Amino acid sequence: MDNAYTISAHFGKKMSRDHNIRNRNITNSEDHIDPDGYFKIIEDRPIKQAYYKIFGQAVLDYNAKQTRSDRQIIDYHTKVLSAYKRDPNRNPATSHEAIFTIGNVNHHPTIAESEKILTDFLDQFKKNNPNAVVFGAYFHADEPGSAPHLHVDFILVKRQNKRGLTIQVGQEGALKEMGYYTSG
């Protein structure tokens, strides 16, 4: 039983790309990071680029149908972010981050094994959750006070829309389209 491990996940709506890619201007001031430790950028796209790639064509199609210029969408990311900041209880977050860890600080696989397990997990996560579009994935084994872990940054999208963009940001719609339902 000593090679049995637990897996844990932490979900949030805040992320720091500079922390995840190990931008030295940021991480040099973060005492919990070993500057010589191992980390790997598996997938990385700035969020505005991710929005353009995911929603760009839908925005162009939507804008082409608008007869009034004030209804056109200039920057979908800014539009979603503004709505979320106005009322986070009613509007979706622009993106989400999940951190997955195998084991704990005192009992975990080797760094190489952790990286393999978590990279395989990422592939399955993307396959099993097509409405959680991943735009960032970062393996960190350079924090001595924690076990090796994987940060996954993603945008929840819904594709079955009757109004507005053909593809939109939406947590509830994305989850329903993947077969997850809430009760109440």
Domain residue spans of the chain = 39-177
**Mean pLDDT of the chain, nearest integer:** 93
- Which of 173, 27, 20 lies closest to 99 in space, CA to CA? 20
User: For residue 36, how many other CB atoms are within 10 A of its CB?
Assistant: 6
The model's pLDDT over 97-109, given as tens digits with 9 standing for 90+, comes to: 999 999 999 999 9
pLDDT at 28: 82
Mean pLDDT value of segment 110-124: 97
pLDDT at 50: 98
Three-state DSSP class for 30? coil
pLDDT at 13: 64
Mean pLDDT value of segment 173-180: 93
Cβ–Cβ under 8 Å, residues 115 and 139: yes
User: For residue 108, how many other CB atoms are within 10 A of its CB?
Assistant: 20
Q: State how far the Cα of 94 lies from the Cα of 155, in Å rounded to an integer.
A: 7
φ and ψ at residue 75, rounded to 5 degrees: -140, 105
pTM: 0.92
**What are 54's two structure tokens?**
């995911």
| Model confidence at 147: pLDDT above 80 | yes
